[in-house]
Amino acid sequence: MAPPLVLASASPRRRELLAQIGRIPAEILPADADETERPGETPRALAARLALLKAQAVAASRPDALVLGADTVVACGRRMLPKTDDPAEARRHLNLLSGRRHRVIGGICLIAPGQKPRVRVSETILTFKRLTDREIDAYLATGEWRGCAGGYALQGRAAVFARFLSGSFSNVIGLDLHMTEALLAGAGA
């Protein structure tokens, strides 16, 4: 019998994505991790490090479980766009992404009992259409951007902004399901 799955994330989107593939966590234990980027740290390195930190923080108290940690970083060039709860910051992010290509990098870490952490990174390329001030105003009024890296939630009304997507759609929502399932299956779950 496989150990219980513990999700080291407070993200309701990650919970929903796992449920979509029939992987219901036995527990949800959000990890408290400092998400500050280090000087010179790349978006890929940040996503991987944060996923590992979150998984390790929870695995320390649940060594009998499969602990899944994840983090999402939105990057435009080398500039990283953090999660935001500030409408002015979300507006700046959307203005920056307007008409441009950017990357959504998802770090995933699985720690199985008695095994070394397995870390994977998923990268999805997105291009937004040119956004008008009116479109940005209307989107900000929805509030669905709150707490989202880059200031948008592609599973909601921001879906109309995406002109091009290459890679995992579920990664943009919060968790690359293909990679996650492969990690879980590889751990015997």
* Residues annotated as catalytic (active site), given as ranges: 71
CA separation for the pair 92, 61 (Å, rounded): 39
Nearest Cα neighbor of 46 from 132, 98, 121 is: 121
Any bridge partners for residue 127, and if so which?
Answer: 101, 164
Residue owning tokens 């397995």: 118
Q: Is the four-CA dihedral 117, 166, 185, 8 of positive or negative sign? A: positive
Cβ atoms of 43 and 76 closer than 8 Å = no
